[in-house]
Amino acid sequence: MTTTSSALAATDLGALLAQHPLGWWMAGAVAFALLGIAALTGLRSLRQHVGAPLGRVFPPQARWVLVAAMAASACTLVLAGATLAELAESGSAQGYWGALDDALAASLQAQASAAVLQWFATLTHLGDTWVLTALALGVAAALWLRRHRLLATGWLVAMAGNGALTKVLKNLFERVRPEHTHGIAEASGYSFPSGHSSASMVAYAMLAYLATRLLPRAWHLPAVMLAGALIFTTGWSRVVLHVHYASDVLAGWLLGGTWMVCTVLIMESVSRWRSPALATAAAQRL
C-alpha cells in the first residue's frame, strides 16, 4: 500500500470512528475486556509452568530467575521505546497515523454533540491525576498494613515509574495537543504520550493483577474484564474530547502496558526467589 492510499484509508477510518463514538466505546470496552481474559490466561500458564522445565534448571531460590526477569524487562522496554519513537514520527508526518489523527480529531470536533462530550468528560476522570494518586496511596497503605510488603512496593513502583516515564517522554517529543474549543474539558501541556491512558493502564491492570494474587479464583475473571473496560474507556474519552490524538492514546497504552508487564515479571520472580511456597500457593489460587 502506497503512502497516499494508506493516508486515504486512515482518513476514511477516522471519519467512520467519529460517526459513532458511543458505539465504538462499547465495542472497544468489550474488546479490551477480552484482552484482559487473554492476559489472565497467559498469567495462569506462566504460573503453572514456572516449575517445569525451568524449575529443574534453576532451583526456586536461584537469583538467576530474578536476573532473567530483569533482562526480559529491559528488552521489552527497549522494544517499546523504539515503537514509541516510530509512532511519534509517523504521527507528525503525513503517513497513516498522521492522517488518522487529523481525520478523527476534525470529524469529532465537527460531529460530536454536547451530550456526548459531557458524558465522556465525566468518564475521563477515571484517569485524572488526583483520582489515581488517591488510589495509589490507598491501595499501598492497605497492602502494607496487611503485610503484603512486596505487593505494596511493586504497586508503588509501577505507578510512580510510569508517571516519571510519561513526563520524560512528553518533554522529549513535545507534541502539541489537538485544538479543543468546546469548553467542556480542558487539558494543558504536551500531548504525546497520553498520561491519562498510560496511568489508567498501569493502575487498573495492576489492580487486576493484585486480585489474582489476593482474591479467590471466582473474582479473577470479573477483575480483568472490568480493568480492560476501564482502560479503554479512559483512553477513548481523551480522543472524543479532542484533548489527545489517537496515536497519543495508543502510545500511552503501549507505555503503561510495557511498564506494568515488566513490573509484574519482576514481582513474580522476586516472589518465587524469596518464598517458593507462596509462589506455589499463588499458582494454585489461579
Averaged over 26-37, what is the pLDDT? Answer: 93
- Cα–Cα distance between 105 and 110 in angstroms, integer? 9
Q: Confidence band (pLDDT; 50, 70, 90) for 55?
A: very low
Q: Is residue 200 pLDDT above 90, yes or no? A: yes
Q: Confidence band (pLDDT; 50, 70, 90) for 186?
A: confident
193-214 exposure pattern, b = at least 16 Cβ within 10 A, e = fewer? bbbbbbbbbbbbbbbbbbbbbe
Look at the alpha carbons of 147, 150, 151, 155 in this order and tell me if their dihedral is positive or negative.
positive
Most confident segment among 49-58, 61-70, 231-240, 270-279: 231-240
Least Cα distance to 171 among 198, 199, 200, 193 occurs for: 193
Q: Is residue 275 pLDDT above 80, yes or no? A: no
Q: Confidence band (pLDDT; 50, 70, 90) for 68?
A: low
Please answer whether residues 193 and 252 qualify as being in contact, where contact means their C-beta atoms are separated by less than 8 angstroms. Answer: yes
Q: Over the stretch 109-153, which tens digit does the pLDDT of each residue have?
A: 778 788 888 999 999 999 999 999 999 999 999 999 999 988 999
CA distances from 146 to 150, 152, 172, 205, 214 (A): 11, 10, 40, 21, 11
pLDDT given at position 83:
61
**Listed range (1-15, 41-55, 157-171, 226-240) with the worst mean pLDDT:** 41-55
Residue boundaries of the structural domains of the chain: 3-12+23-285
Q: Is residue 49 pLDDT above 60, yes or no? A: no
Mapping DSSP onto H, E and C, the string for the chain reads CCHHHHHHHHHHHHHHHHHCHHHHHHHHHHHHHHHHHHHHHHHHHHHHCCCCCHHHHCCCCCCHHHHHHHHHHHHHHHHHHHHHHHHHHHHHCCCHHHHHHHHHHHHHHHHCCHHHHHHHHHHHHHHCHHHHHHHHHHHHHHHHHCCCHHHHHHHHHHHHHHHHHHHHHHHHHCCCCCCCCCCCCCCCCCCCCCHHHHHHHHHHHHHHHHHHHHCCHHHHHHHHHHHHHHHHHHHHHHHHCCCCCHHHHHHHHHHHHHHHHHHHHHHHHHHHHHCHHHHHHHHHHC
- Cα–Cα distance between 182 and 175 in angstroms, integer? 21
- Cα–Cα distance between 147 and 239 in angstroms, integer? 40
Averaged over 183-211, what is the pLDDT? Answer: 89
pLDDT given at position 3:
57
What is the end-to-end Cα distance of the chain in Å, rounded?
Answer: 44
Q: Is residue 204 pLDDT above 90, yes or no? A: yes
Which amino acid is it at 123? L
Q: Enter the pTM of the model.
A: 0.83
pLDDT above 70 as % of the chain: 73
Q: Is residue 61 pLDDT above 50, yes or no? A: no
pLDDT given at position 159:
94
C-alpha cell, 36: 484482559
pLDDT given at position 77:
55
Q: Which residue has the higher pLDDT, 9 or 31?
A: 31
CB atoms within 10 A of CB 86: 11
pLDDT given at position 175:
82
Q: Is residue 249 pLDDT above 60, yes or no? A: yes
Which amino acid is it at 270? V
pLDDT above 90 as % of the chain: 35
- Cα–Cα distance between 154 and 151 in angstroms, integer? 5
